[in-house]
Structure 1
């Protein structure tokens, strides 16, 4: 530990004397962290729900190539991200890294953007879960339950898991994730075994196909599909050997998620035919039905029924994973007094951020209730609007993190990693991600399906979050300058 880190640790621990503020140490290995992160990405819900829309609005059969482009850019981002994460073990995730490299004000702004982004994604997923579950109950069992009732049922169980030990949530997610991957890979193999619609080809990767349609919109959907992989650093304080396991878990998560998406999307294109896939999806009443039509065609109704059930499970797993992520951001901000200090308390037995977890559950309940009372469509409005706000927030955080890594290591005379990993790649990834962010803002009405006025209002949540974070940091600086100086400086590893 550095002298500054020791002083900050002593300062925070003294301020919390007699109160539990520590998370459960050593409860997560690399495997469980990877499962938590992959669950957050909700792979089946992305393959069945997100990518068909991306194919339809983007560049059609060329979408698998865009997944590879997104994967390469995110690997470049992960190089600097993991290098710095090896030195900063803190449940604040993005916030802690940005505060360490760019200062307390930037850290406060990043913390509030992260809270807004992860909360919006959690709210959005409750809309998707409610809609999909309600529809499946009606179709399979003739039970007509309102979407919000399904959402509140899931919310109650997630509140229990989030309140208790993190390894309990991880073990539950492990079963869900494995089942999702197996079911989709069975379909992939069946499509290839049958030779697809008109033979196995690599048309998806031809330049003419990749550049067709609107590849920029398709690229945005590809980046949105990866949201969740960055959450590895949030679990650093609960990891076994965090300085090794967090970087390893990050690379494994990105590669597993990216490879799975690229291969599965390519198989879906082969299954429908590269020249037919976009029209086939447009012909569906609901784009999410596309995966089921492929399953019916190449395997049979049995697998389709399994996929329908696992779609719901996938969204539930994402809800549970993002509940844990969001609670830890609230916890980190409370511990360092950017938010009320009580949020930084942990349960004396479970050592979970139980106060932050309860707050997260209350917020979800309030937002879902408001949308339900307003008669909003859970998919087109609640999910469509807020999931894209979350995408903007995460992209902004990644751009700031790249800048933070570059600045942090530029000041270090004896960095443990070479300049390629700590300076060159962060600069390249930051530039690329900034371009993607600007592209997303410019096309936000296309992504959400909302009016221009509504789109501008939703995008306006980002500068509001930044302003709120700057205000919180400034207030802390006036009230407790020593604590402000410690923002992002405490290594809890």
Structure 2
């Protein structure tokens, strides 16, 4: 190793995140916050019902939850032998080698930045609408975004346990208000009250109605942020146990919550005529959950739910911001992006350079949409979050195949073939199929079928992958030592 290579490696290893600061529940909060339960139920579920399989959405959530649990088997098996805040990127690097890891790194940066920045559009619209309806304040959506961006910049710059405290309050509040509605529908009965609850949404007939593929795709998008369990592994109290437990806690909690809530939502309106009712709410079917709240809970709790809808999106923004900052930290530490991004704050031990960089990028992209007067929801939110969803699904497929390759090279680490071969292979095939279908239907997903955006946006993933491969090969030339240990954490197998 040359003196320059050794000096670079030593500088990068000197910067560490705050160890032992996060337990199972804390990491689970980051995953659940990124999933944004209230946002998913108010925003995603009605659209999935309308464009997907209608009253069969609860059954579709069961299927997606089972697929994610299968994916988690191999994912958590590798987590017991591998710890890195690079998460999917580091998995792909360890399993499929460095060039594939470089591609995964840049796909991850594209995907998570797209998700985070796109959510600003939904937040701006929700916050502006709430202030106008409740106080008569005519605050532009971009004004709300600037305030949220400033708060997130401060929280992301500080130590991670501050973000946990903020997220825990917001997530518990949004869970509580939806659970109150769930209890009200269960107690009063379906169709506005008085009708018995039916299990019809779980029948094959309901599940197979409409477009099952679109339903599964939208439902899979509700779980995006799932990777956070390993993104925070270097800050976990006992990563080899904490990460697997947090993964299963998050998937089971989110899956059960989504399944039960959508089942009660379908019952609240009634399975018959549900799609026609939602069609009448166009262009904003998100009013469905709030209409149910008006019927079952009254105006006061509906107002609270409207406020929590905005804070739910804020929680997701903060969770994705933290995820991007840690990705940049991991990649800067390993030489795939500028080295200064791989540094931590001297006091907070936070990935402050990555946090500031993400804020600047978000500000620039947001400004382009605001200055050109694009719709915050139909353009900024829809275009970017669907791009982010596609990118993360591709990452999940790559990670699954990487798990298989990793254990084939290290058979002595785990002799359970279900964990190391069968489950990850099945998960990889399933997520790859979803990704291919999503790419083929991208125009429909962004409500721009036939437009140039239907292929321009997905093509950014290919560009990111090529840039990632090139960055890995450049690293191989500039610093062979860093290239050799790409994706590894100290103490790895």
Return the alpha-carbon distance in structure 1 between the equivalents of residues 274 and 314 of structure 2: 28
Counterpart position of 1:3: none
- Paired residue for 2:49? 55
Tell me which residue corresponds to 1:137. Answer: 131
The answer for the alignment partner of 1:267 in structure 2 is 264
1:343 alignment partner in structure 2: 341
Instruction: Give the match for residue 409 of structure 1.
Output: 407
2:213 alignment counterpart: 216
For residue 66 of structure 1, what is the aligned residue in structure 2? 60
Shift of 1:178: 0.7
1:105 and 1:470 in contact (8 A); partners too: yes
CA distance in 1, matches of 2:446, 2:453: 9
Q: Distance in 1 between matches of 2:6 and 2:130?
A: 49
Q: Name the counterpart of 1:377.
A: 375
Deviation (angstroms), 1:491: 3.6
**Partner of 1:414: helix, strand, or coil?**
helix
Q: d(CA) in 1 for partners of 2:158 and 2:10?
A: 21
Candidates 236, 241, 249, aligned match of 1:252: 249
Q: 8 Å contact 1:90–1:492 — kept in the other structure?
A: no
**Aligned-partner Cα distance in 2 for 1:108–1:281:** 43
**Tell me, what secondary structure is at the counterpart of 1:182?**
helix
Aligned match of 1:189: 183
Match of residue 442 from structure 1:
440
Gaps of 5+ in 1: 1-6
Find the counterpart in structure 2 of residue 231 from structure 1: 228
| Distance of 1:242 and 1:484 partners within structure 2 | 25
Question: TM-score, length-normalised on structure 2?
Answer: 0.96
User: What secondary structure does 2:232 align onto?
Assistant: helix
Rounded Cα–Cα distance in structure 2 between residues aligned with 1:12 and 1:88:
24
**1:77 aligns to what?**
71
Shift of 1:236: 0.6
CA contact (8 A) 2:414 2:420 kept: no
Q: What secondary structure is seen at the aligned counterpart in 2 of 1:200?
A: coil
Q: Deviations over 1:459-493 (max 9, x none)?
A: 10110010010010011011111210110122468
Root mean square deviation, CA, Å: 1.5
Corresponding residue SS for 2:328: helix
Kept in 2, the 8 Å contact 1:67–1:258? The answer is yes
Match of 2:24 in 1: 30
Equivalent residue runs for 1:84-483 within 5 Å: 84-197=78-191, 198-285=195-282, 286-416=284-414, 418-452=416-450, 453-483=452-482
How many residues are matched? 484
Instruction: Give the superposition deviation at 1:16.
Output: 3.5
Tell me whether 1:44 sits opposite 2:38 in the alignment: yes
Structure 2 gaps, min length 5: none
> SS at the partner of 2:272?
coil
SS at match of 2:85: coil
TM-score under structure 1 length normalisation? 0.96
Change (3 A) 1:79 1:417: farther
Measure how far apart 1:417 and its partner are: 5.0
CA positional deviation for 1:276: 2.4
Shift of 1:13: 8.2
- Shift of residue 416, structure 1, vs aligned partner: 2.6
Q: 1:14, CA displacement in angstroms? A: 6.5
- Matched-pair contact (CA < 8 Å) for 2:407–2:414: no
Distance in 2, matches of 1:491 and 1:145, equals 49
For the Cα contact (< 8 Å) 1:60–1:277, is it kept in 2?
yes
Q: Following TM superposition, by how much is the alpha carbon of 1:399 offset from its aligned partner in structure 2, in angstroms?
A: 0.5
Change (3 A) 1:95 1:312: same
1:4 corresponds to: none
Q: Does the 8 Å contact 1:118/1:326 carry over to 2?
A: yes
1:271-322 Cα shifts (integer Å, max 9, x gaps): 0001122222222252111101101111111110111010011000000000
**Aligned-pair distance for 1:19?**
8.3
Following the alignment from structure 2 to structure 1, what is the Cα–Cα distance between the partners of residues 157 and 404? 37
CA separation in 1, counterparts of 2:327 and 2:470? 17
Matched-pair contact (CA < 8 Å) for 1:83–1:417: no
CA separation in 1, counterparts of 2:8 and 2:475?
Answer: 17
276-285 or 163-172, larger mean C-alpha shift: 276-285
Counterpart Cα distance in 1 of 2:12 and 2:137:
51
CA distance in 2, matches of 1:141, 1:16: 55
- Once residues 419 and 303 of structure 1 are traced to their aligned partners in structure 2, the CA distance between those partners, rounded to angstroms, is 50
